[in-house]
Amino acid sequence: MPVSRRTLIAGSVAGAAALGAGVAWHRGDPAMPGTLGGADFKRGHKLRKGGKFPAPSSEARTGIAILGGGIAGLSAAWALAEAGYRDFRLFELEDRAGGNAKSGRNAVSAYPLGAHYLPIPNAETKGVIRLLERLGIVTGWEGGKPVYDPYQLVSDPDERLLHLGKWQAGLVPTVGLTPQDTADLNAFFAAMGAYRDRLDNGQPAFAIPMALSSDAADLRALDRLSFAAWLDEKGWHSSVLRGHVRYACRDDYGTEPEHVSAWAGIHYFAGRREHAANTDEDTVLTWPEGNGHLAGRMAARLKDHISCGQIVHKVARAGDGVTIDAFDAARGISHRVHAKAAVLAMPHFVAARVAPKGSVDATRFGYAPWIVANVTVDRAPGGQGVALAWDNVSWTSKSLGYVVATHQSLDAVPGASVLTWYMPLSDMAPAAARRLMLDRPLAEWQEIVARDLIETNPDLAGAIRRIDVWRWGHAMIRPVPGFFFGGAREAAARPQPPLFFAHSDLSGLSLFEEAHYRGTTAAQDAMALLGIPHADLLA
């Protein structure tokens, strides 16, 4: 096994660019610097409310139109470019492509605004591995397994948990456990290991992409239960196990275990298999800007085909092709695009508003709202116990803790940093959470973030310089019981040539790999319709 980044720079903490003059902020001070941002609510709500758009004042033609510039849309465009096809155009609502893999930057560091890492892909995730190879992140092959650039693997220590007043390694409590806690944890992880190793006629029980998972009846039946109800059936009531499961469900789904399909809950623990690459087990790929690194590099290659600030508000069939009406937010005019095929790489609830009437039903699709805050500090946090890690979680916090954007730096001298703090609004109905998200002012969000951070790390008192808050009203699909195999999801993913659908919500899992799979599949289906030669990037 080649030397890993863990060995090369274990324990590294960033020393970042100087902040310049400024006075450290204390909780309760009236004027904390920062911004309140998020997906463009005005553009989105104009579309949602059926706002009137001017008639198109110009027309253009393209072979394939891609509507949406998140990872699914970028993956669709990448697949077309890989096939040598150039007659396509991608239209994105926001001013930058990337979806929930967007990132930001300040004088200290780049930082994520959403997704912040990519686990080492499973062997069956061939399309993503090919992409990573093209990006130079996979540097070669050894023993039939990909070799990853060690400087893009998360460095040690990678995660720690604040439990009973002390930081420990890992995210499952290791002290203060009762015999019942130990028994339930052992039984649960043994069951997850069995699901992870299970093969049905050579097919993994839980695969990534999920479309490659086994369709065995007993596995599909898990979708009828919530994850909490499944744990009840097993008789596993340990509060420690339940706390860890709640963390997992909120972390990947933004949803409480009582509202997560047991199939999705088990997939979280059993969907990723070890020894898929020449790396340490359970490692991930990460960058200061999180998955914005991947989105940015994909968009850079495709920049000549991307039009941002476009509110696509109508898609209609026209003969053998389609017409797309879009409003250019910067110019204040509408235009019409004639295309031979269209990939709707947008959340399904948005597709339902723009697609031909009656062609899309999104009534079963629900989405989780999130708050992400990037907190600039003039010194790295510490704490009793194990050293500062990339991912830092408190057992008692309502948040999911924070990742250290500067963790990957080679500078071993602690200094200014950016802490990316995450909180899904899972303890209330999503619609109520979205209203709260819009109504609550920046200062109140900053107070919530600062209070949580200082309760977790009292040594940060006086060290916080800036808090930038980002709101995701529809951050990810909520994989509720019955969503995976109840028929609605499968119907939503079905192509309607010349319309093809591509978004991670069609998988029920908001994962980079799922978005890539859906985007690549849709692009390849569109090329097949038009007779465009292409290799199968997923095989």
Identify whether residues 246 and 205 lie together within a single domain.
Answer: yes
Q: What's the confidence (pLDDT) of residue 28?
A: 54
Span 265-288, average pLDDT: 86
What average pLDDT does the chain have? 92
Within a domain: residue 537? no
Q: In sequence order, which residues have a C-beta less than 8 Å from that of residue 37 and are 6 or more positions away?
A: 113, 468, 469, 470, 471
Q: Quick one: which of 452, 462, 537 has its CA closest to 128?
A: 537
The answer to whether 56 and 334 have CB atoms below 8 angstroms apart is yes
User: Would the pLDDT of 278 be above 80?
Assistant: no
User: Would the pLDDT of 535 be above 80?
Assistant: yes
Within a domain: residue 400? no
Span 338-342, average pLDDT: 98
Within a domain: residue 133? no
Within a domain: residue 427? no
- Interstrand relation of 88-91 and 59-67 (parallel, antiparallel or unpaired): parallel
Identify whether residues 333 and 252 lie together within a single domain.
Answer: no
Domain span at residue 255? Answer: 181-270
pLDDT above 70 covers a percentage of the chain that reads: 92
User: Would the pLDDT of 369 be above 90?
Assistant: yes
Q: What's the confidence (pLDDT) of residue 65?
A: 98
Q: Where is average pLDDT lowest: 109-113, 149-153, 270-274, 361-365?
A: 270-274
Q: What's the confidence (pLDDT) of residue 376?
A: 97
pTM of the model: 0.94
Q: What's the confidence (pLDDT) of residue 44?
A: 76
Identify whether residues 342 and 199 lie together within a single domain.
Answer: no
Q: In sequence order, which residues have a C-beta less than 8 Å from that of residue 360 and are 6 or more positions away?
A: 348, 351, 352, 492
Q: What's the confidence (pLDDT) of residue 415?
A: 87
User: Would the pLDDT of 293 be above 50?
Assistant: yes
Q: What's the confidence (pLDDT) of residue 1?
A: 35
Q: What's the confidence (pLDDT) of residue 23?
A: 39
Q: What's the confidence (pLDDT) of residue 292?
A: 98
The answer to whether 254 and 428 have CB atoms below 8 angstroms apart is no
Identify whether residues 192 and 262 lie together within a single domain.
Answer: yes
Identify whether residues 259 and 305 lie together within a single domain.
Answer: no
Identify whether residues 195 and 242 lie together within a single domain.
Answer: yes
Measured CA to CA, the distance from residue 338 to residue 318 in angstroms comes to 8
User: Would the pLDDT of 136 be above 80?
Assistant: yes
Residue ending a domain, choose from 270, 301, 325: 270
Within a domain: residue 201? yes
User: Would the pLDDT of 165 be above 90?
Assistant: yes
Q: What's the confidence (pLDDT) of residue 45?
A: 74
Span 311-333, average pLDDT: 96
Measured CA to CA, the distance from residue 268 to residue 345 in angstroms comes to 24
Within a domain: residue 8? no
CATH assignment at residue 324: 3.50.50.60
Within a domain: residue 22? no
User: Would the pLDDT of 181 be above 50?
Assistant: yes
Q: What's the confidence (pLDDT) of residue 413?
A: 53
Q: What's the confidence (pLDDT) of residue 195?
A: 98
Which residues is 153 bridged to in the sheet?
285
Residue ending a domain, choose from 211, 241, 270: 270
pLDDT above 90 covers a percentage of the chain that reads: 87
User: Would the pLDDT of 20 be above 70?
Assistant: no
pLDDT digits (tens, 9 = 90+) for 48-71: 777 789 999 999 999 999 999 999
Question: How far does CA 503 lie from the centroid of its chain?
Answer: 12
Within a domain: residue 77? yes
pLDDT digits (tens, 9 = 90+) for 407-450: 998 665 568 999 999 999 999 999 999 999 999 999 999 999 99
Q: Where is average pLDDT lowest: 143-147, 179-183, 229-233?
A: 143-147
pLDDT digits (tens, 9 = 90+) for 346-366: 999 999 999 999 999 999 999
Measured CA to CA, the distance from residue 499 to residue 356 in angstroms comes to 10
CATH assignment at residue 218: 1.10.405.10
Q: Which long-range contacts (CB under 8 A, 24 or more apart) does 484-493 make?
A: 484/210, 484/220, 484/223, 484/261, 484/263, 484/264, 484/508, 485/220, 485/223, 485/263, 486/223, 486/364, 488/361, 488/363, 488/364, 488/365, 489/364, 491/361, 492/348, 492/360, 492/361, 492/362, 492/365, 493/518
Q: What's the confidence (pLDDT) of residue 35?
A: 97
Q: In sequence order, which residues have a C-beta less than 8 Å from that of residue 151 and are 6 or more positions away?
A: 5, 8, 408
Residue ending a domain, choose from 213, 238, 270: 270
Measured CA to CA, the distance from residue 144 to residue 278 in angstroms comes to 9
N residues, the chain: 539
How many structural domains is the chain composed of? 2
Identify whether residues 316 and 235 lie together within a single domain.
Answer: no
